[in-house]
Amino acid sequence: MDIQSIPNLLNIKEYPESEIKRILNKELIIKLSNNENVYGPSPKALEVIKEAVENLQFYPDPQAASLKRKLCSLWDIEKEQILIGNGADEVIDLILRGLLQKGDEVIIPTPTYDNYAIGVERCQGICRFLDMPMGNFDLVEIQKSITNQTRMIILCNPNNPTGAFISGLALEQFIESLPEHVILLLDEAYAEYEYAHVSGIRYISKKNILAVRTFSKIYGLAACRIGYAVGKSEIIQKLDDVRLLFNTNTLGLIAAEASLDDPIHIGKIKYSNQKSKALMVRQLEKQGISYYNSSGNFIMINTGVNSVEMYRRLLERGIVVKPILHEKYQTCIRVTLGTDEMNNYFLDTLFGILYK
């Protein structure tokens, strides 16, 4: 099929690989658009899933008690401080629906994860977008932008898609400066990829902070849909009251728990990600292509070509990336770091498009 004639072409980046293959009628598809973990989950997670398929007739534990116990000891918190959801996306949605009212202002530095603005607008909140200079956080500017109407600030640390990360010290100072009427939603979906990351979970007793985590990224369990938020128990209990009773599933819960027992597997993924990032960056630099330093498992590259155009040209060659649509980054694409083979194929194709 001719790429130009595919309707909703931009949505393809969100489809599973099998659907993209069917739509494009191509055998080889390299999907580098969703920041999935190409190495897969821990063998311990796979093992418990295999055992549990014998018991699919039973409902999951609506309180996720066993996973919560593990998270309590990991973070040194109480179970009342944890909200578990169907991926970080559901957790974020519960937070926004539970805490925002019509007209509430939410500060969002951009470019960032699109779902924040979508979620805020769904609650009839007002997004106050702030520019991230060169894709980085300007925490001073964010502080200055807080008004009496500001209900929430959403920071994605490390930030998707720019890869920027807030250091522990900067985060601490920022949190200390927060007024009481403001809730800080810290999305830490990619935290485990950054060696120097300091979690907002440390500060939940001090201020109104909700730190969100997922098992979809470094834990490689995106299909299992488990995410969670940690915050003050008064806030968490309010949100927990409005979630659906069976909002998660047994296979996800047990796989998440088992994967927390395999820090060696996570360490290997973290290391492989660092290595492939360094290789990718070296190749880009050699060709004089600019990119943004990333603390995640992805990298935002400025190809100099309109992002949708570059997306189409890569798609024609079987590679799916995310085109950045933000007006200041329209020549950027975000590429998930894959295996060395995938990354090399991507780079060869990109260089071919740019230089041949």
User: Residues near 108 by Cβ (< 8 Å), separated by ≥ 6?
Assistant: 116, 117, 120, 127, 128, 129, 130, 153, 154
CA atoms within a 13 Å half-sphere pointing along the CA-CB vector of 39: 18
Contacts to ligand PLP from residues 240-279, by CB under 6 A: none
Q: Strand 227-230 and strand 30-31: pairing? A: unpaired
Nearer to ligand PLP, 111 or 227 (CB): 227
**CB-nearer residue toward ligand PLP: 214 or 313:** 214
x-or-dash string of contact with ligand PLP, 148-167, rule CB under 6 A: --------x---x-------
The nearest distance, CB 218 to ligand PLP, in angstroms, is 11
Within positions 201 to 220, which residues make up the interface with ligand PLP, using CB under 6 A?
Answer: 214, 216
Smallest distance, ligand PLP to C-beta of residue 298, A: 9
Nearest CA among 248, 201, 193 for reference residue 226: 248
Q: Output phi, psi for 68, to 5 deg.
A: -65, -40
In whole angstroms, the minimum distance from the beta carbon of 282 to ligand PLP comes to 25
- If you search the block for the tokens 């109104």, which residue do you land on? 208
Q: For ligand PLP, how many residues bind (rule: CB under 6 A)?
A: 13
Residue 132 CB, shortest distance to ligand PLP, in Å, is 14
Q: Tell me which amino acid residue 182 is.
A: V
Q: Which two tokens stand for residue 67?
A: 């996973």
Q: Which is nearer to ligand PLP, 30 or 313 (CB)?
A: 30
Closest CA to 221 of 249, 188, 187: 249
Q: Looking at this protein, which amino acid is placed at residue 337?
A: L
Please say which residue, 88 or 333, places its beta carbon nearer to ligand PLP.
88
Binding to ligand PLP by CB under 6 A, coded x per residue (else -) over 65-104, reads ----------------------xxx---------------
Q: How far is the CB of 227 from ligand PLP (least distance, A)?
A: 4
Angle at which helices 87-99 and 233-240 pack, to 10 degrees?
A: 100
Q: Residue from 77, 107, 189, 201 that binds ligand PLP (CB under 6 A)? A: 189
Figure out which of the listed residues 12, 30, 93, 113 binds ligand PLP, where binding follows CB under 6 A: 113
Smallest distance, Å, CB 6 to ligand PLP? 23
The tokens describing 160, both together, are 């998707």
Q: Does the protein bind ligand PLP through residue 119 (CB under 6 A)?
A: no
**Residue 262 contacts by C-beta under 8 Å, 6 or more apart in sequence?**
42, 43, 44, 45
Site string for ligand PLP, 20-59 (x = CB under 6 A): ---------------x------------------------
Q: Considering the complex, what minimum distance in angstroms separates the CB of residue 95 from ligand PLP?
A: 12
| Residue where the block lists tokens 């979809």 | 216
Is 307 a binding residue for ligand PLP by CB under 6 A? The answer is no
Task: Give the separation between CA 222 and CA 208, rounded to whole angstroms.
Answer: 28
Rounded to a whole number of angstroms, the minimum distance from the CB of residue 96 to ligand PLP is 13
CB of 36 to ligand PLP, least distance (A): 8
222 near ligand PLP (CB under 6 A): yes
The torsion angle over the Cα atoms of residues 35, 220, 16 and 250, rounded to 10 degrees, is: -140
- Tally the residues of the chain: 356
Among 227, 231, 252, 323, binds ligand PLP (CB under 6 A): 227
Q: Which of 333, 350, 340, 344 is nearest to 294 (CA)?
A: 333
Interface residue with ligand PLP among 104, 105, 187, 257 (CB under 6 A) is 187
CA atoms of 295 and 243, how far apart (whole Å) = 32
Nearest of 184, 270, 178, 258 to residue 224 by alpha carbon: 258
In the complex, the residues that contact ligand PLP under the rule CB under 6 A are 35, 87-89, 113, 156, 160, 187, 189, 214, 216, 222, 227
